[in-house]
């Protein structure tokens, strides 16, 4: 019985982050097929838009690393959950920022 619980504790972060990854990938694939991926006018704004998902993963991983030092879960679990939640947060930031119109200052 304890072996089953231990295996579940090991596999849970992989299942959780895998589900988040599938959600994000399938949503972005659908947006690409429809031609509705986010576009910004300037190259700086487009670079920021394209970097939001990887930046979310980096910040999520760092947060998971820090939290694993203070809470009773392993470093690997903290990094895994942090990267998954960062991916999800980066995707939502991408969605929000791609819907905003860039102000035209002329």
Supply the pLDDT for residue 10.
Answer: 85
Q: How far apart are CA 26 and CA 6, in angstroms?
A: 31
Regions of the chain short of the pLDDT cut 50:
none
**What does the block give as tokens for 80?**
């895994």
Supply the pLDDT for residue 19.
Answer: 96
Supply the pLDDT for residue 36.
Answer: 84
In tens, the pLDDT along 45-63 reads 889 888 999 999 999 999 9
Q: How far apart are CA 39 and CA 12, in angstroms?
A: 36
């Amino acid at each position: 019985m304890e072996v089953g619980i231990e295996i579940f504790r090991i596999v849970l972060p992989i299942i959780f982050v895998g589900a988040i990854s599938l959600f994000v990938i399938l949503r972005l694939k659908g947006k690409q097929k429809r031609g509705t991926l986010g576009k910004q006018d300037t190259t700086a704004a487009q670079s920021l838009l394209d970097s939001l998902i990887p930046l979310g993963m980096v910040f999520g991983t760092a947060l998971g690393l820090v939290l694993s030092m203070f809470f009773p879960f392993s470093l690997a679990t903290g990094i895994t959950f942090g990267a998954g939640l960062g991916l999800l947060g980066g995707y939502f930031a991408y969605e929000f920022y791609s819907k905003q119109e860039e102000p035209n200052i002329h």
